[in-house]
């Protein structure tokens, strides 16, 4: 007899897991009309069965399906799909590999796991003709992964650039709008629950780097590793950097940038001066936005909430619906495209961008000319220059925006500037996007 109900094993009942339960329970009619099958939460894995859970008061049947035994899901022949929202690497990786070996399809929101071990998990899924979907791992409720795999299947993506971490965007937005210090805004973000007690993963760019590794792997069809993403966080961004950027027409954003030119790839996460004419400069608060550039379609932008119970849960349930449709059609595991292109990393001599540079130098005649000549010797020209006195000790603050320059040339210039007696301090150096 043909299956009438798809039974789900849910791993994790935190914020996102609770959202998944709510959506599945309250949208039964919609889910049935989309898939032609019933969808039921059959078992829920948690660490502590005795912990009070408000969701049990709303849905009286929840308490009876909660378990702390992984095999109640993984080895249960009645469970068809594993939905993983518990997070972490171990033992989560082993759980998902076991589920795939048991022939169970998988939906996950685990960006850390997919960035580090996605290749292994996808290979295991292919071996067992199972689906693995992970839309919620990158940008919460924004359907960016499905767009890369399906919407751009007939196009060739050349660049992806975006804000993929809401915590850092909230901090930089508050610094820009209120002229506040980084440390003060971070404390406020922690108090509001936007930042973790240990915010390292967010503010040092690691969370965004994991997401960019996933995006670039899918977008460029190459197996990009996390350690191949050049990462710099926002902890060194000052309110003075932001203020000078605004004077020159820029907003500071933590951008993930992935480019592919002539088959060579570069991927980075770094604080970036984004020109006010670019839409990303006006993405504020905890929102995410990703630009995708295709050879045929040109520029497209995906925008929306990047985290939260229901936005993330919506992406998870959307993947669940796709999984159920594939099960009904008997095509599970056939739509997955593993990275198939040879990975070629771009050398620094081919990584071009404009650069924002802020220096403290001696305030005397010929200093700017000496700096300009040093840059010209390394094929770097200036687009904008702002100079003003710094303090009362005969120093000047010089802010410059260059034209396009190779990273190798910029790195060499930075070394030469540090050796100059007239340069007292290099305050900051940021990539610049937009304004061409």
The residues annotated with a catalytic role in the active site are 211
The span from the CA of 7 to the CA of 356, in Å, is: 54
Q: Record the tokens describing residue 158, joined without a space.
A: 């050349």
The span from the CA of 286 to the CA of 166, in Å, is: 4
Phi-psi region of 391 (alpha: psi -120 to 50; beta: other; left: phi over 0): left
Residue with tokens 């009619």: 29
Alpha-carbon distances, residue 235 vs 35, 99, 212 (angstroms) = 46, 40, 20
The contacts found for 170-175 with CB under 8 angstroms, 24 or more apart, are 170/194, 170/195, 170/285, 170/286, 171/195, 171/203, 171/234, 172/234, 172/237, 172/242, 172/251, 172/252, 172/253, 172/254, 172/271, 173/284, 173/285, 175/237, 175/239, 175/242, 175/252
Q: Residues in the chain, how many? A: 436
Rounded (10°) CA dihedral 392, 393, 397, 398 = 140
Count each helix (H run) and each strand (E run) in the chain, helices first: 16, 17
Half-sphere exposure of residue 100: CA atoms within 13 angstroms, side-chain side: 26
Residue with tokens 């001696």: 362
Closest of 271, 28, 301 to residue 147, by C-alpha = 301
The contacts found for 377-380 with CB under 8 angstroms, 24 or more apart, are 378/409, 378/412, 378/413, 378/416, 379/405, 379/406, 379/409, 380/355, 380/405, 380/409, 380/410, 380/413
Please count the other Cβ atoms lying within 10 Å of the Cβ belonging to residue 110.
26
Contacts of 407 (CB under 8 A, 6+ apart): 348, 349, 351, 352, 353
Residue with tokens 């997955």: 336
Q: Record the tokens describing residue 242, joined without a space.
A: 């932001």
The span from the CA of 153 to the CA of 134, in Å, is: 18
The span from the CA of 304 to the CA of 32, in Å, is: 26
């Amino acid at each position: 007899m043909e299956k009438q109900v798809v039974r789900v094993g849910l791993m994790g009942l935190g914020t996102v897991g609770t959202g998944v339960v709510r959506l599945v329970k309250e949208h039964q009619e919609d889910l049935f009309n989309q898939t032609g099958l019933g969808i039921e939460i059959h078992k829920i894995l948690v660490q502590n069965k005795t912990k009070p859970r408000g969701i049990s008061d709303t849905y009286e049947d929840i308490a009876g399906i909660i378990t702390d035994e992984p095999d109640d899901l993984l080895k249960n022949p009645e469970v068809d799909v594993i939905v993983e929202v518990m997070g972490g690497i171990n033992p989560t990786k082993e759980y998902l590999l076991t589920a795939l070996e048991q022939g169970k399809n998988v939906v996950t929101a685990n960006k850390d796991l997919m960035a580090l071990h996605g290749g292994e998990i996808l290979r295991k899924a292919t071996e067992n003709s199972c689906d693995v979907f992970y839309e919620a791992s990158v940008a919460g409720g924004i359907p960016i992964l499905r767009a890369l795999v399906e919407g751009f299947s007939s196009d060739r993506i050349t660049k992806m650039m975006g804000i993929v971490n809401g915590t850092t965007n909230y901090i930089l937005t508050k610094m820009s709008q209120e002229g506040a210090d980084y440390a003060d805004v971070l404390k406020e973000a922690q108090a509001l629950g936007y930042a973790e007690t240990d915010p390292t993963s967010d503010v040092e760019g690691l969370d965004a780097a994991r997401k960019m590794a996933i995006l670039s792997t899918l977008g460029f069809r190459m197996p990009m590793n996390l350690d191949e993403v050049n990462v710099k966080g926002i902890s060194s961004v000052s309110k003075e950097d932001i203020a000078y950027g605004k004077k020159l027409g820029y907003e500071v954003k933590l951008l993930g940038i992935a480019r592919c030119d002539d088959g060579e790839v570069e991927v980075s996460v770094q604080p970036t001066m984004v020109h006010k004419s670019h839409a990303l400069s006006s993405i504020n608060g905890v929102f995410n936005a990703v630009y995708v550039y295709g050879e045929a379609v040109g520029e497209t932008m995906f925008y929306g909430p990047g985290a939260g119970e229901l936005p993330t849960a919506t992406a998870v349930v959307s993947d669940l619906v796709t999984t159920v449709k594939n099960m009904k059609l008997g095509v599970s595991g056939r739509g997955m495209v593993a990275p198939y292109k040879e990975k070629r990393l771009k050398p620094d001599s081919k990584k071009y961008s404009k650069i924002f540079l802020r220096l403290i130098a001696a305030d005397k005649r010929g200093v700017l000319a000496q700096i300009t000549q040093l840059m010209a010797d390394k094929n770097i020209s200036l687009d904008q220059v702002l100079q003003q006195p710094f303090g009362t000790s005969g120093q000047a603050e010089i802010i410059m925006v260059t034209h396009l320059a190779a990273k190798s040339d910029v790195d060499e210039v930075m070394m030469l500037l540090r050796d100059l007696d007239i340069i007292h301090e290099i305050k900051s150096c940021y990539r610049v996007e937009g304004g061409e």
